[in-house]
Amino acid sequence: MECSLRYSVNGHTIMNCTREKRGAMKEDGKISRRTFLAGAGGAIVSIGLPGVFVKLADASQQALATDTRPDGKPRLPPGQLAVEKIRDMGGAPGTATFANWTLRVHDEVERPVVLSYQDLLNLDQVNITCDIHCVTGWTLLDSRWSGVRLSTILDRVKPRRSAGFVIFEAAGDYTSSIPMSEARKKDVILAHSFFGEKLQQAHGAPVRALVPDRYFYKSAKWMEAVKVTSRDEPGFWEKQGYSNSADPWKEERYEQGR
């Protein structure tokens, strides 16, 4: 039977789901990202991240289904629904403040460096507008970010020829990795501002990574270090079965066989 009431497990809010689906989702007191994809069918909600995600109207979804990016890819990747806004992106925040935050850039580089928040602000700044895609099925269109291109920092530290990967190291031992080819893209940045304001702690303050063309778990929050290496090091979610390539247009949500 359909139900319009909100229902919460471990801080995650579900609405407009059937009682049968709610029962499956509540098993063992946990809600997985897989469960979201299987059971969220009605209103888009937040599973895997605290807060409520309100989807755009069906007419808007249909219009977006035919919209394309300049590179010819569909604006909405397969299996995604556009949402109005993000209230809380979830996770365990770090303890760094804007005053004491530092970023260590290290390993297979010629000139390792430790940057302060002011050092980051002194580098060339960019403002980008992009769409971001969560593996749970939501997409936020035209999100606006400010920060420093990762390529700007890489040029400064001079990766060795052997370096083929960038590892984002964040608070709480969270990590994610991307190939050097992705790290060099112009829209991959270390962001300090979101929609014209300093990042809030829930969104990754003081600084987070932003990798728009990969599922959002690649965009590590509460950044502490950037490791440049010749060997890939699958991150927190990847070790639990999520795709290491994480291409939204190929729906690379999970590794084959997981």
**Residue extents of the structural domains in the chain:** 1-52, 102-131+143-250
pTM beyond 0.85: the answer is no
Output phi, psi for 56, to 5 deg.
Answer: -70, 160
How remote is the C-alpha of 225 from its chain's centroid? Answer: 17
Q: What is the pLDDT along the chain (258 residues), one digit of tens a residue?
A: 233 323 232 233 323 333 333 333 333 333 344 443 333 333 433 334 444 557 777 777 777 778 889 999 999 999 998 888 775 656 778 899 999 999 999 999 999 999 999 999 999 999 999 999 999 888 999 999 999 999 999 999 999 999 999 999 999 999 999 999 999 999 999 999 999 999 999 889 999 999 999 999 999 999 999 999 999 999 999 999 999 999 999 999 998 655
The domain made up of 102-131+143-250 is a member of CATH 3.40.190.10: no
3-state helix/strand/coil string of 3-34: CCCCEEECCEEECCCEHHHHHHHHHHHCCCHH
Under a CB-based contact definition with an 8 Å cutoff, are residues 50 and 90 in contact? yes
